[in-house]
């Protein structure tokens, strides 16, 4: 099973991905953007986004192995368009070819937690609607995952079963 967890900042994607991975016993593929920015610093350019996108894409196995993917190129596309008003065609081309067995969209119903890598503390609801629009445009079926604490994991597990 190939599961993508996507959504705006500070909505529990990484926590949910780790918990699902542990619960289901399948691989967790971390968010590459965080790794990249922790290594190179929180400032970035438009060209860094393409490097981040390629790094994230390279984590995805090209065989039928099961995984939980903590964000993907959709996040980078939205991020790029929000910050720079455009997105590199490599990202949109790869997105158009991607497929997942399940997409879980995390709702912005958790308290915002500030860190040096987050940028949009007041835009969560607007960006969540943007994710919904993009997922619909890609024609990727998705389930919105909400709830606090253990309820979030239970919501995700219910969607998967």
- The full set of domains in the chain, from first to last, is 2-160 (3.40.50.300)
- Mean pLDDT for the chain overall: 92
Q: Provide the pLDDT confidence category of residue 121 given band limits of 50, 70 and 90.
A: low
**What secondary structure does DSSP assign to 48-114, as a single string?**
HHHHHHHHHHHTS-SSS--EEEE--HHHHHHHHHHHHS---HHHHHHHHH---SEEEEE-S-S----
What pLDDT score does 9 carry? Answer: 86
Q: Name the residue with higher pLDDT: 44 or 5.
A: 5
Q: Provide the pLDDT confidence category of residue 119 given band limits of 50, 70 and 90.
A: low
Best CA proximity match to 6, nearest among 96, 68, 94? 68
What pLDDT score does 99 carry? Answer: 93
Per the CB < 8 A criterion, the answer to whether 138 and 74 are in contact is: yes
pLDDT at 151 over 70: yes
Instruction: State the DSSP H helix or E strand holding residue 159, giving kind and residue range, or none if neither.
Output: helix 150-160
Q: Which of 20-29, 116-125, 129-138 has the lowest mean pLDDT?
A: 116-125
């Amino acid at each position: 099973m190939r599961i993508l967890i996507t959504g705006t900042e500070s909505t529990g994607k990484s926590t949910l991905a780790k918990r699902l991975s542990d619960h289901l016993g399948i691989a967790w593929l971390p968010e590459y953007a965080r790794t990249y920015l922790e290594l190179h610093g929180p400032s970035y350019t438009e060209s860094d986004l393409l490097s981040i996108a390629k790094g994230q894409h390279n984590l995805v196995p090209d065989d039928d192995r099961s995984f939980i993917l903590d964000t993907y190129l959709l996040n980078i596309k939205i991020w790029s368009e929000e910050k720079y008003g455009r997105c590199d065609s490599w990202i949109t081309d790869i997105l158009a070819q991607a497929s997942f067995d399940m997409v879980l969209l995390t709702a912005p119903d958790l308290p915002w937690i500030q860190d040096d890598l987050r940028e949009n503390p007041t835009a969560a609801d607007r960006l969540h609607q943007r994710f919904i629009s993009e997922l619909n445009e890609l024609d990727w079926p998705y389930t919105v995952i909400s709830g606090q604490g253990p309820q979030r994991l239970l919501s995700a597990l219910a969607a998967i079963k």
